Structure 1
């Protein structure tokens, strides 16, 4: 409340002492009003942070605790396995390893002799007790009868010690480490329970190092194939290496995965790893600013799942109608795109134009709602999102006119989720070498899984250089 000196003197009836007192009170009231406004903004932001979860922000699902989960996904209308799914029913084996016949002695009612007609068959599938198979290699020692030279036959190249673990142990160690996500201590304990032999941690690390070297060519095959793909997904997530923050980067498709570790998240890390700077197709990502650096020549497609979560958070916390309308438009647009893709037809141009026009109309309403919270230089969450939606409109709506562009970046997020699982089970990586080994092994294993290839036999074959892709 601001009053002129004349107004203050009028109120105080000309008494200067009362006028000075009133002026002082007005200054205090003005200061308190400004402070109250600052505190209200602070409370508003803290309430926003307390209300954030995996459905209205970028927080991971693991941070939700025991809260009942809700999802932005729309129901597909079907339950159970898709039509034509082969299922996993245990089938009868035509050549059982053992047959046990259960006979009848006499009739259970009158004790007369029985005539055998047929059998009812049931089969039990079970795992035999594992046992270690020991192969002894003997190199002949002989002496030349003519010159007296003592000689020895050569051992195979992979037999280097008087006693050692074979390829099966190495493959199983990589399998348990990078697929089942077990730490080394539990891997050793499992081997001891199954076989009675407990490899030391140093031995297990040596096995992982050997597997890492043998998978180098397979990893290069994956990288070359990804360069040739017209569209890839990219993302990164933080991991701890020696208690320092590093970043696990991924570039992947529905059938190939590549992971790599670096101590930087942005363009410095991407450039050092060398996959994205030379890629010329379409990259689906989450609008991280480093993807938009000038030297990158790929086409951008943004993850709408991230935008939906942000719109939901603003609609819930700030009660902004434009964010709710934008969320509804994106969901309906994706549903429409899915229907046309099932019909193998493009969305009509007039429909795409109508969606784009509605998109712009929604954003026109946004500035009026920003003013309710953001009047200073600092932009609100709502304003930042609206600016991003306006700036990257073609990249956000690309799925409407490009049938090969997905709606979200879930493919990359699924790859990185396994990195988080590894970290939760085993803790942080103790060395950068260990993180690098895990990244390569996980890349190959994830690719094998996507291509429906048996992981363990493939890892065994990689030790003899027989695993290749493409």
Structure 2
């Protein structure tokens, strides 16, 4: 595997080498909202606003055809990010530790959810903000998850697949359908068009987009 992957920080994903890691900010926003709702920690509100501001700035840069967000905004977002993480970790380190379980379980003391989240975001700062530093990287991996959802429904709910060939054919058809939708093509026309012509159409579309940005 090569290139950039956007995921939810599951450790096996982080173990993948030769790829650039980005974290799905939709997952982080849900975790921040949980900290806001249940623990009322102010830093989480500030971090949620920061991610929203960074997303807006990145989209504005794309809409204006710029290759990157301005250096001034990059510095501001990074400084706010560091300040939020530092404030959160300082807050939690000042709290009394959580009681150890009475079962005699060994290991490090358990941390609160907000403490773990702040430490994870600080550790993986580059991955959290990759969408902001590289405009080709999406803010979330929601689109990929939506693309996979119908396949999982087919696998778990609709009787699964009886043969490997059937599974491969299903994946090919779903790939063509989802690609056609993303490119605003007519789905039936895409299914009835030869692969060679589809590739030509896709290359033409990309060239039009590049010419529009360059112009």
TM-based fold match above 0.5: yes
What is the aligned counterpart of 2:22 among 276, 301, 305?
A: 301
In structure 2, list runs of 5 or more residues that go unmatched: 101-108, 200-215
Q: Deviation per CA, 1:76-103: give whole Å up to 9, x if none.
A: xxxxxxxxxxxxxxxxxxxxxxxxxxxx
1 CA distance for matches of 2:142 and 2:126?
20
Instruction: Return 5+ residue gaps in structure 1 as ranges.
Output: 1-275
Q: Distance in 2 between matches of 1:432 and 1:384?
A: 44
How many Å separate the matches in 2 of 1:412 and 1:314? 26
How big is each residue's C-alpha offset from its partner over 1:279-331, in whole Å with a ceiling of 9 and x where there is no partner? Answer: 2x22222222222225x212122211111111001110122222122111111
1:392 deviates by: 0.8
Q: Is the 8 A contact 2:155 2:161 kept in 1?
A: no
1:347 equivalenced with 2:48 (yes/no): no
Q: Which structure shows the bigger proportion of residues in helix conformation?
A: 2
Work out whether residues 154 and 160 of structure 2, in 8 Å CA contact, stay in contact via their aligned partners in 1. Answer: no
Could you give the per-residue CA deviations for residues 199-245 of structure 1, whole angstroms, max 9, x where no partner exists? xxxxxxxxxxxxxxxxxxxxxxxxxxxxxxxxxxxxxxxxxxxxxxx
| 1:54-75 Cα distance to aligned partner (Å, 9 max, x none) | xxxxxxxxxxxxxxxxxxxxxx
Residue 406 of structure 1 and its aligned partner are, at CA, apart by: 2.0
Superposed CA offset, 1:94-131 (max 9, x none): xxxxxxxxxxxxxxxxxxxxxxxxxxxxxxxxxxxxxx
1:175-186 to structure 2, matched below 5 A, reads none
Aligned to 1:408: 140
Q: Is the 8 A contact 2:176 2:191 kept in 1?
A: no
Corresponding position of 1:392: 124
SS of the residue 1:407 aligns to:
coil
**Cα pair distance change 1:429/1:323, threshold 3 Å:** same
Aligned to 1:467: 195
TM-score, normalisation: structure 2: 0.72
Match of 1:404, SS state, is coil
Equivalent-residue separation in structure 1 for 2:118 and 2:52 (angstroms) = 17
Please list, as runs of the form range in 1=range in 2, the aligned pairs for 1:6-25 lying within 5 A after superposition.
none
Structure 1 length as normaliser, TM-score? 0.36
Larger radius of gyration: 1
SS, match of residue 284 in structure 1: strand
Paired position in structure 2 for 1:441:
173
**1:333–1:455: structure 2 CA closer, same or farther, 3 Å change rule?**
closer
Q: How far apart are the structure 2 equivalents of 1:306 and 1:404?
A: 19
Task: Give SS of 2:92's match.
Answer: helix
Q: CA deviation at 1:459?
A: 4.0
> Once the 2 structures are TM-superposed, how far is the Cα of residue 452 of structure 1 from its aligned partner?
3.9
Does the 8 Å contact 2:26/2:140 carry over to 1?
Answer: yes
Residue among 155, 159, 162 paired with 1:431: 162
Deviation track 1:14-40 (CA, whole Å, cap 9, x = no partner) reads xxxxxxxxxxxxxxxxxxxxxxxxxxx
**3-state SS of 2:21 partner:** strand
Which residue number in structure 1 is paired with residue 212 of structure 2?
A: none
